[in-house]
Each structure stands twice: as C-alpha cells, then as structure tokens.
Amino acid sequence: MKKILVADDEMSIRLLYSEELKDEGYEVLTAADGREALDIVEKTPLDLVILDIKMPEMSGIEVLRQIKEKNPNLPVLLSSAYSEYKQDFGTWASEEYLVKSSDLEDLKAAVKRHLKD
Amino acid sequence: MSDQLGLLTQLIELFTSSVSYGERLDNFVHLLARNLNFDLALFFVLEKEKQRLLLNTSSQGPVSPSMLIVFPLGRGLVGQTAQTREHLIAYRDDPEIFPANRPLETIYPDFQTLASFAVADDNFLYGVLLLVDQKRRKLDTATLKLIKLACLMLAGTIRQALRHDETKKRIAELSGLFEIGKAISSTMELDALLERILSTAAKVINARGAILRIIDEQTGLPRVASEYGDVFETSACLLTSKLETAVVSGELPFVTTSLPDLQGHLHSYLGVPLNFKGHLKGMLCVFDKMSEALEFQEFDAENRQLLFTMAGMISSSIENALTFQELEALAEKNERMVRVLTVLQEISWALMTTVRMEKILDIILNALTLESGLAYDRAVVLLVNENRHVLKAVKGVFRKTSPPTLPLREALMVPVEVRAESAMEKLLPRLQIPLQEDKGILARTVLQKKTFHIVQAEQDSRVNQELRQAYDLQEFVSVPLIVKDQVTGVIVVDNQRSKRAIRDNDVQILNMFANQAVLAIENSRLYSTIEANNRELSLIRERMLESDRLAALSGLAQGMAHEIRNPLTSIGGFARRISKKVGKNSPLRHDVEVITQEVERLEKLLREVLDFSGVNLGYYEEHDFNQIIEDALTLIERDLMASNIKIAKDFALLPNVHCDDRQIKQVFYNLFQNARQAMDKGGTLTIRTYPVEKSDGLYAAAAVSDTGGGIPLELLHNIFNPFFTTKEFGTGLGLSIAERIVSRHYGQIEIINELGKGVTFIVTLPIAKYCLIKTAEDQEAQP
C-alpha cells in the first residue's frame, strides 16, 4: 500500500485529504506543521507528500527544499489557498501545484499520476 | 546882349523845369538854333562804350532811324571835339574838313558852317553839340562863351538825368530784391515758394518767364524743376543739359544764350548758378526780356548782376524749404510708422490673449486682411509638416469681411469663418506643397528662409504656374515664419481684387508681423505640448493611484482568500463525501448537493475576482502578444474541449507589446470563458492576431470570435458593466475586468456582434515602442 504524507496546519484539510485518500486505498499519515512533516519524512519511507505552502514553524517551501535535499525522488505536490504562486512551483522543484478546491478530483488525479500506478 | 540874356534866361528856365530829360534835350537844341540863328542844332550822344557818337536830338524834329549819323571818336568835327573837348568851327570849303563831315549831308546837304562844342563836365563827356548853318558864320567870343555855358548846363542836366536813371534803376533793383525777399520769407512750402520766386524774378528783370533747376549732386538728376511763363520743352531740355555740364565742371558764371522755339523764333535766356552750402547745385534762368513796348531786348550786365544777387538770396531759402520738405516727409513717414507700430502692437496684444492655435490663426488672418490692420485682400497661412516634408495650407481669407465697425483689438478677435464658396476656397484645405526648390515660391520661402516679393507672377519662372492659375496670383508676398532658425510655416498675402501695389515698406512690416505671429504659434505649440504632457502625466498618476488602491485591496483580499479558501475546501470536500455516501434516494442528498453547489459558487467567485486581478499589478514589460494568448488558451483548453468547442488559430508575427502579461492573460481567459459559455452546445473559437496602424501608432490586435449566435441587441450595451450577467452561474465581472485591464494598457476592446452568428471581441494593445509616446505634436498633426 502506497504511503502518503499530508502536511497542513488546517485540521479540517488534513482530515478531508486523509479520508478521501484512504478511500482511494492509500495509507495516509498527517503532519500539522513543517517540522513534524520533516520528522515523518526522515523516519518513514513515503511514496508521496502533499504539502501546504503556508504553515507555522516552517514554511512549506522550506520543508520542500529539505525534503528534496534528502530525498530528491520523493514526489511532492504543493497544495495552497494561493493561486498566484502557481507558476513558481517548477523553480521550487515540486511536482505539481494545486490550488485548494472542494472538488478533489484534480488532487486525486495528480496523486495517481505521480505514484505511477 | 539882351538876346544873350534872354537865351540864358530861357535856358535856366528850361533846365529848372520839371520836363523830362528827352524833352529838355529837344528844347535845348531848339532854343539854341533859334536864338543863335543857326539853321540846325544837333546833339550827338556818346555811346556807353565811349567809341562812337550817335545823332540823338535835332532841332528840326524827331530823329528817325534813317537819320542815323554816327561819328567814331576822333573823326569829323564831332569826333574831334569829343576827343579834345575843345570847340571847333569849320567851313565846307575847308578841304580837310569836308570828307570827314560828309555824313551830315544826309540831313543837311547845304551846310556851310559847322560849330561843335563838347557837352561835358569836369569828369565826363556826355556828347557833342553841333551847330549847322548854310551861311558862312563867325561866332564872337561872347556867343562862344554863351554856347559853352549852355553846354555846361546841358552836361549838368544830363548828369542829373543819368543819376536819376541810375537811382531809378537802383530803386527798381532794390524793390525787386525786396520783392524776392518778401517771396522767400512768405512760405516754407517748396512749390509755392518756387512759384513766387520765379514770378518775382521774371517781373523784376522784365522777363517773360523763368526756369529753376536743382540737380541732385549724387544722382546727377534734376531734383527740383520749376517753371514760370511759357517754357518751351526743347529749351528746357537744352538748358538742363547745359546746366548739368556746367554744374559738374564747376564753371557757370552765367549763361546767356539764344535758342529757337518750334516756330523758329529766337528767345534769349540768362541763367545764373544757384550754389547751396550743402551738396545741391542748380540754376536760375530768365528768358525773353521785354521792353515796355513789348519788344524783345537783350539781357544786359545789370540784369546779370541782379539775377546773381537774387540767386544768392533764394538759394538759402530754397535749401531751407528743401530741408523743411524732407523734415515734413520724415515726419509723415514717422507718423505712418507710428500708425503701423500701433497696429502691430494691437495685433501683438490680441495674439497674447490666447494660446489656442485656432484662435491665433484667426487673429493672424484678421490682422492681415482687416482694413484697420494690414489691409490685404487675401491671406493664407501654411504650416510645415516635418514628417511628410510638405507645406500644408491651414486657413485662408479670400474676401474682405464687412468694414470693421469694431475697434481693431476687438475686430482681431472675431472668429474667421471659412466659407468654401469659390473654387479656390474649396481647393485650399487640400493644398500641399512638397518642400523642393522647384515647387515654387512657397517651397523656396521655407527652404531659403527668406521673404519673396513677387511683382509679376506670370513672368516669374520661380513661380509655380499651376498654383498661380488656380489662385489667380499676380503680385504677392510670401513670408516665412521662422522660430529658432526653423521655418514652421509661411504667410502669403496679395491684393488680388484691389490691385493695390505692395511697397518695400509693406514687406518690411509683413516681416515684423511674421515675427510676432510665429512667436504666438510657437507659444501655442509649446503650450499644447505641455498641456498634452500634463494630461498624460495626470492620467498616469491616476492610473498609478488606481493601481495602488487595487494593490492594497488585493493584498487584503489575498489574505482573505487563504482564510476563506481553506474552510471552503473542507466544507465542500466533506459535503461531496457525504453526497457520495448517502444513497441516491436519501432525503439528505438534495441538502448536501445545495452545500456542494454553493461552495462551488463561492470558489468560482474567489477565482474570478482574486486569482487574476489581484497581485502583480503594474509589472509592465515587453511581451510576446501571441504567447500570452497561447498561455491563456492553455488554461481553458480542457474546458473548451469538454464543451465540444474547436479552436482555430491564425497568429501573425507581431512586435512585442508593452503590458503586464498576467493581466492580459486574464483578459483573454475571460474572453475565452465568455466564448465557451456562449457556445454551450459546442462551436468554434477563432483567434486571429494581426498588426494595426492607428493615428497614434502601431497596435497589436487579437480578434476572438465565437459561434454562439451573438448577443441580443437589448443586452449589448450592458456587456461591459460589472455584475451584469446572462448566465446562471457567473459573476458578471469577466468582461468588465477585461475592459478595465485593456484600457489601463492604453488599448481598446471592441465588440462586433453578428446576430445569429456570433460575437467577435477585438483587443488592441500598443506595440511596445509606440506606447506612451503620444506627443502633442502627433495629436496636432491629426486633428
């Protein structure tokens, strides 16, 4: 079973994403801030990370940088309430940038694409 | 003895009587002849030249010309007596005497005795008395003494008479000079002065007429020519030429000459020089001296002397009069100049009242054509168009306006109505002259930066003959409007109707006027440039303020978006989950779907309002227009395909546009979105780009067409209004946002609505290098 980490400071988002992804048949871990996310990335072998850009303790961009430093092959999807940073995700070396939406079809399609199954 | 006493008494009576000199002489010879009992008593008078003695008076009566007897000094008894002043008595039979005295036979053939006596005083010999008798007579001492006494008395009376004559002459001369003096002080007016001088001079000399010439030494031409009496043309010419040579050579003591008139009659002339202390020289001449009996006489030395004296007197007064005339002319010129300057000042004042080009042109044209202004019949103003290298007619006046009842200042301000009544007036707006030397005087005026005064346009090879015919040009002046050594235009004036000649002075005034006019024109240009720049600046400032406001607003909205979007995502997300979990027939299903839909609507609103228009305002750079459209298309391609809409692209190669690419991307996103919604049953979205040249520069255009059937007419005027929508799900902001963005980019958005077919939106944006370079001059060039 593929392991996905959902890192978001909003509890409701963490809950929504993990429920939805679990329904899709993934194992989902969650982190409420950047530091926690990095801990999990270090300790647990993961298949994909969904990362909020704006989080307390450590911003998602910094988390992304450190993840990619340690594990460049781990796909990271950025999920944000901000649409204006969308064109910058390439320079941040993430796999995809998704504007948060109640319609999770785009998110699930992206997850599927990057897990290559 | 008593006889002798009686004669003496009679002689004394005679010499003390008041009769005239000639009568006394008559009586004298008569008395002597009778009292001395001589047949004949004759008086021979000594000529002025003192060479000959002429028979003057006879006791037998008047001396007719046939009785003319002349004795040269020393010849005959009369001549000898005159020489020796001794009395002589001779007889016919004396052989030595007779031949010399023979002329006496003509009046008295039988003379026997001749007795001659000198009539002289201590100094002068006046003549000789000759007594003649047919008998041989002897004269006793007493008689001789008596005769000598009588001769002495006669000499006295002659001397007196001569003195009297002399005095009379002097008086006449003096009164002549007095008359001249009166004449020269009578007036300062040259013509009147000359007339009086000449008439007086002629009268004093007893001449029939007089001529006066003054030569201008510098030009050698007669400067003043005045005549009195009937002057014959030929004589006047001859005199003038004679005078010129004499004046030039500097020798002109006097001229006496006789010239024939056309009928061959000889006329005598006497001329004396007029020398002025300045550089003027001339001649005063009288002609045809007449005696009291209206007989022609020769001018004599006294006449010359008198004329010399008069010449001396009049020359200074003539010079004064000439100076006065010059001063008067100068004063008149000054007065004219003051008038012209006043007019120019009024014009200058009027020109200062405005910076509006249209008004300035009117004032210029009024100034040129008003009767109280420069009063030309026609005037046209042409301005140089640097870009096209042509001179273009701007405005003209072809007819006089009604006589000005207004003061000049106000009349100048009256707007000039352009009435295209005649062919010329209709042609004027299209009059364009390429700036090449061979295109006529107007082009030359610009190229050579100088004024042209053409007197006969028809004969002048420099004149553009086509133009001459079209505008009936004869004499005209073309004046350049020069500012900072650049010709900005040309003023052309003429007097086509009145044919009033244009003087050099007028041309000078025109040049002065042109200097004023060009300053006003230049001021107006500078002012409108400044005005345009100000407008531009305030527009930019306004837009910057707006940008700031929007940026602030969007910063706020951005923060809110984050805050709202998160809960919306979870609310919507969970609602969808519930919706999936409850059965299709569950009573909850509908409720949950309402939540889902409302959340979706909120999310869409967020997207439309915030995702595009928010940040990054004002990042204006050069961008590839086609690329921006491609980018926008990518964003919506999936939706279009889902709606079964085909895409047709026709992109032209375009220069970069100056824009904020994200905003422009939104414009096209909105337009595509709009097209998609219009074609909910599928269709074709056509996108075409192409360059457009507008009056103020080059633009890039994109036409976005749908096949959605067009917009109903009643809705058309509303489509750019915010919150206007025909759609069930729409904010109504799409086109309004697009329109605002485009206008903020100095672009335009147009709509072509074809009912039953579809709508085409055309977006034009300025090409980068033309953007913001909208100078006032460009706007002016294309009013």
Q: Whole-angstrom Cα distance, residue A40 to residue B667?
A: 44
What is the structure's pLDDT at B724?
55
Tell whether B63 and B147 lie within a shared domain: yes
Quote the DSSP letter at residue B401.
P
The pLDDT value given to residue B563: 79
Among A16, A102, A104, A105, which would you mutate to test the B interface (most chain B Cβ atoms within 10 Å of its Cβ)? Answer: A102
pLDDT at B649 over 50: yes
- The pLDDT value given to residue B20: 79
How many residues does the structure list for chain B?
A: 783
Q: Which residue of A has its CA nearest to B554?
A: A84
Domain shared by B363 and B306, yes or no: no
Which DSSP state fits B61? B
Distance CA B475, CA B451 (A): 14
Q: Do B569 and A82 touch (CB under 8 A)?
A: no
Q: For chain B, how far is it from start to end, CA to CA, in angstroms?
A: 134
Confidence of residue B458 (pLDDT cuts 50, 70, 90): confident
Q: Give the CATH number of the domain where residue B6 resides.
A: 3.30.450.40
pLDDT tens-digit map of B242-292: 665 665 455 555 666 677 666 767 777 787 777 776 555 777 888 888 877
pLDDT given for residue B401 in this prediction: 62
Q: Is residue B10 predicted with pLDDT exceeding 70? A: yes
A74-88, B62-76, B97-111, B116-130: which is most confident: B116-130
CATH for B714? 3.30.565.10
- Which of B273, B308, B326 terminates a domain? The answer is B326
CA distance linking residue B6 with residue B34, whole number of Å: 12
* Residue B585, pLDDT above cutoff 80: yes
Amino acid B42 reads: L
Task: For residues B372-389, give the mean pLDDT.
Answer: 86
Residue pair A46/A4 in contact by the 8 Å Cβ criterion: yes
What token pair was written down for B186? 């009578």
d(CA B365, CA B438): 27
Q: B148 and B58, same structural domain? A: yes
B776 confidence band (pLDDT: 50, 70, 90) = very low
Are A83 and B610 a contacting pair at CB < 8 A? Answer: yes
Q: Of the spans B280-289, B575-584, B709-718, which averages the highest pLDDT?
A: B575-584
pLDDT of residue B728: 47
Using the predicted structure, report yes or no on whether residue B762 has a pLDDT greater than 60.
Answer: yes
Q: Which amino acid is at B85?
A: R
Cβ–Cβ contact A109 with B under 8 A: no
Whether B163 and B114 share a structural domain: yes
Backbone angles phi, psi at B397, to 5 degrees: -120, 125
Question: What are B155-168's pLDDT values in tens digits?
Answer: 888 888 888 888 88
Tell me how far apart the alpha carbons of residues A89 and B509 are, in angstroms, rounded to a whole number. 77
Contact across the interface for B562 and A103, Cβ inside 8 Å: no
Q: For chain A, how far is it from start to end, CA to CA, in angstroms?
A: 11
Beta-bridged to residue B685, according to DSSP, are: B647
In the Cβ-directed half-sphere of B192, how many Cα atoms lie within 13 Å? 8
**Bridging pattern class, strands B255-260 and B207-216:** unpaired
Q: For residue B615, what pLDDT is reported?
A: 45
CATH of the domain spanning A3-115, picked from 3.40.50.2300, 3.90.1720.10, 3.50.50.60, 3.20.20.70: 3.40.50.2300
Q: At residue B434, what is the residue type?
A: P
> Closest-CA residue in chain A for B609?
A83
| Amino acid occupying residue B666 | Q
**Which of the pair, B271 or A73, is modelled with greater confidence?**
A73
Is beta strand A3-7 parallel, antiparallel or unpaired with respect to A27-31?
Answer: parallel
Contact B492, B514 (CB under 8 A): no
* Position B616 confidence tier, pLDDT thresholds 50, 70, 90: very low
Closest by alpha carbon to B206, among B162, B186, B231, B176? B176
Cβ–Cβ < 8 Å for B418, B395:
yes
Residues whose CB falls within 8 Å of the CB of residue B517, separated by 6 or more in sequence, listed in order: B351, B360, B364, B367, B481, B491
Q: What's the whole-number mean pLDDT along residues B71-85?
A: 88
Strands in B244-335 per DSSP E: 255-260, 266-275, 280-290, 296-297
Picking from B311, B326, B341, the residue at the C-terminal end of a domain is: B326
Residue B609 CA to residue B564 CA, distance in Å, equals 13
Q: Rounded CA gap, A112 and A115, in Å?
A: 5
Domain shared by B158 and B195, yes or no: no
Tell me, yes or no, whether B545 lies in a domain: no
Q: Which residue carries 């001296």 as its tokens?
A: B289
Domain count of the fold of chain B: 4
- Residue A48 in this model has a pLDDT that exceeds 90: yes
Looking at the predicted structure, is the pLDDT value of residue B503 above 50? yes
Chain A residues inside the 8 Å CB shell of B576: 102-104
∠B44-B47-B49 over CA atoms, to 5°? Answer: 155
Q: What is the pLDDT of residues B242-256, one digit of tens each?
A: 665 665 455 555 666
Q: Which residues of B touch A (CB under 8 A)?
A: 558, 561-563, 565-577, 596, 599-600, 603, 607, 610-611, 614-616
Whether residue B120 has pLDDT greater than 50: yes
For residue B595, the chain A residues in CB contact (below 8 A) are none
Q: How is residue B94 written in tokens?
A: 């004396």
Q: How many CB atoms lie within 10 A of CB B211?
A: 24
Same domain, B103 and B238: no
- Whether residue A102 and residue B600 make contact (CB cut-off 8 A), yes or no, is yes
Position B239 scores a pLDDT of 65
Q: What mean pLDDT do residues B548-575 have?
A: 77
pLDDT on residue B773: 41
**Segment B387-400 mean pLDDT:** 82
Q: Which residue of A has its CA nearest to B611?
A: A83
- Measure A16 CA to nearest chain B CA, in Å: 6
Mean pLDDT of B765-779: 54
Determine contact: A73 vs chain B, CB below 8 A: no
Residue B729 buriedness (CB in 10 A; 0-12 / 13-18 / 19+)? exposed
Residue finishing a domain among B447, B475, B502:
B502
Q: Tell whether B159 and B194 lie within a shared domain.
A: no
> What is the pLDDT at residue B564?
84
- Of B404, B202, B153, B169, the residue nearest B307 (C-alpha): B202
Is any Cβ of chain B less than 8 angstroms from the Cβ of A44? Answer: no
Residue B641 has pLDDT above 70, yes or no: yes
pLDDT tens per residue across span B506-551: 899 899 889 888 888 888 888 888 888 888 888 878 777 776 666 6
Mean per-residue pLDDT of chain B: 81
The lowest-confidence range among B434-438, B556-560, B561-565 is B556-560
> What gap in Å lies between CA B141 and CA B4, rounded to an integer?
12
To the nearest whole angstrom, how far is the Cα of B768 from the nearest Cα of chain A? 24
Structure token digits, residue B176: 């002549």
Helix axis angle, B661-678 to B734-744, nearest 10°:
150
Between B21-25, B200-204, B587-591, B727-731, the lowest mean confidence (pLDDT) is in B727-731
Same domain, B157 and B12: yes
Q: In this model, does residue A62 exceed pLDDT 90?
A: no
Percentage of chain A exceeding pLDDT 70: 92
Residues B238 and B284 in one domain: yes
Task: Residue count of chain A, please give it.
Answer: 117
CA distance B169 to B107: 35
Q: Is the pLDDT of residue B659 over 60?
A: yes
**Whether residue B365 is found in the same domain as residue B441:** yes
Chain B: nearest CA to A85, how far in angstroms?
A: 10
Here the ipTM equals 0.88
Q: Residue B634: what pLDDT?
A: 85
Is residue B569 domain-resident? no
Residues 3-42 of A with CB under 8 A from B: 10, 12-13, 15-16, 19-20
The single-letter DSSP state of residue A57 is: S
- Do B26 and B57 lie in a common domain? yes
Q: Are residues B131 and B203 in the same domain?
A: no
Give a yes or no: residue B595 inside a domain: no
Q: Reply yes or no on whether the pLDDT at A84 is more than 90.
A: no
Q: Is the pLDDT of residue B770 over 80?
A: no
CA–CA separation, B115 vs B192, rounded Å?
Answer: 62
CB of A111 within 8 A of CB of A95? no
Q: Which segments of B582-660 does DSSP mark as H helices, in order?
A: 587-606, 625-642
Work out the average pLDDT over B492-517. 89
Distance of alpha carbon B650 from alpha carbon B348, whole angstroms:
60
Nearest CA in chain B to A53: B562
Residues in chain A closer than 8 A to B604 (CB atoms): none
B551 falls within a domain: no
**Band of the pLDDT at B191, cuts 50, 70, 90?**
confident
Q: Do B570 and A82 touch (CB under 8 A)?
A: no
Q: Which domain holds residue B248?
A: 187-326
Q: How confident is the model at residue B774 (pLDDT cuts 50, 70, 90)?
A: very low
pLDDT of residue B777: 39
Whether pLDDT at B369 is above 90:
no
Encode pLDDT of B661-693 as tens digits: 878 888 898 899 888 888 988 899 999 999 988
